[in-house]
């Protein structure tokens, strides 16, 4: 009896079909990742608009800036009866503390200045103007450095929002145009506020161009300038009037600063 041996290898046609299928799968994965990232970037613009609207609505209703209002405990009760102790006490439910009422979310570590940065989100949530529940307290070392416990998490992967007033800061880190309150988006940065570089220059340029002027040192939306050691690849120079986004840099190199109007 004569036996026919089985073929032990693929034909060229079969190999071609396999390669085509693999190519389609890889292309589909990459395309899916691109679509997810695009959706995340669109969410940044939506979230920013939400914070601005919520803050304006809060001011119209309570005649104060969230986090800075002096009578917050009249509405939501106090985390502690002693003001100084209240600022280091995490309340239950909507319990909170009062701000100093100077119209500014100040930079500083004394009194209740920095606490206002975190009570800002807590007051907005207590008023039902944003989703979530926030402690109103800073993280370790007076910073928010661990989670979304006291600042909103963005749909942009691994990032948080933050609010501050940079009227007293300057230099290469912040353009002169950002000498005001601003919202920021950045990645978790242990031991500091959310300042991790989370956006590619092209991505922030795209957001800036759609919502503002496309210039990192001017307008409502800005970023780190080139001389800042923490983000040397985001922009081309440290001169606010001439700086451009470093579009040829393909890695995450930027954090965004979004003007608030207050």
Please identify which residue in the block is written with the tokens 């089985």: 6
How many beta carbons lie within 10 A of that of residue 71, not counting itself?
12
- The residues that bridge with 181 in the sheet, in sequence order, are 165
139, two tokens = 């993280």
Quick: pLDDT tens for 38-70: 999 999 999 999 999 999 999 999 999 999 999
CB 189 within 8 A of CB 217: no
208 — phi, psi (to 5°)?
A: -60, -40
CB 98 within 8 A of CB 70: yes
262, two tokens = 């207050």
Quick: pLDDT tens for 242-260: 889 999 999 999 988 898 8
Evaluated on CA atoms 97, 102, 106, 111, the torsion sign reads negative
- Which DSSP symbol is given to 184? E
Q: What is the mean pLDDT of the chain?
A: 82
Q: Mind giving me the DSSP string for 133-169? A: -------GGGS--SSSSSSPBPSSTTEEEEEEE-TT-
Quick: pLDDT tens for 116-157: 888 999 999 999 999 999 988 876 655 555 567 888 989 998
Quick: pLDDT tens for 83-96: 888 888 888 999 99
239, two tokens = 């001169």
pLDDT at 31: 58
Residue 24 CB-density burial (10 A; 0-12 exposed, 13-18 middle, 19+ buried): exposed
Q: Which among 44, 43, 59 is positioned nearest to 123, based on CA atoms?
A: 59
Q: In sequence order, which ranges of the chain are alpha helices (DSSP H)? A: 12-62, 72-76, 83-86, 115-126, 201-211
pLDDT(178) > 70: no
Please identify which residue in the block is written with the tokens 């695009």: 38
Cα 161 versus chain centre, distance: 3
Least confident range from 15-29, 116-130, 217-231, 233-247: namely 15-29
CB 107 within 8 A of CB 164: yes
CB 150 within 8 A of CB 138: yes
Reported pTM = 0.82
């Amino acid at each position: 009896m004569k036996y026919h041996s089985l073929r032990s290898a693929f034909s060229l046609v079969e190999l071609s079909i396999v390669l085509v299928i693999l190519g389609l799968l890889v292309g589909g994965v990459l395309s899916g990742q691109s679509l997810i990232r695009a959706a995340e970037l669109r969410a940044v613009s939506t979230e920013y608009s939400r914070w601005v609207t919520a803050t304006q609505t809060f001011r119209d209703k309570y005649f104060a800036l969230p986090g800075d209002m002096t009578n917050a405990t009249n509405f939501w009760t106090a985390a502690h009866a002693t003001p100084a102790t209240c600022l280091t006490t995490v309340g239950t439910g909507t319990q909170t503390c009062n701000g100093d009422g100077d119209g500014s979310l100040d930079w500083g570590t004394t009194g209740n200045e920095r606490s206002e940065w975190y009570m800002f989100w807590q007051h907005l949530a207590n008023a039902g103007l944003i989703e979530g529940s926030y402690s109103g307290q800073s993280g370790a070392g007076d910073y928010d450095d661990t989670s979304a416990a006291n600042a909103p998490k963005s749909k942009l992967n691994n990032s948080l929002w933050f609010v501050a007033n940079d009227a007293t800061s300057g230099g290469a880190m912040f353009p002169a145009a950002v000498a005001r309150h601003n919202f920021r988006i950045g990645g978790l940065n242990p031991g500091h506020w959310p300042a991790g570089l989370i956006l590619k220059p092209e991505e922030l340029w795209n957001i800036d161009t759609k919502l503002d002027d496309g210039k990192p040192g001017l307008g409502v939306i800005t970023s780190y300038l080139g001389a800042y050691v923490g983000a040397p690849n985001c922009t081309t120079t440290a001169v606010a009037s001439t700086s451009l986004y470093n579009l040829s840099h393909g890695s995450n190199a930027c954090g965004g600063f979004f003007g608030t109007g207050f």
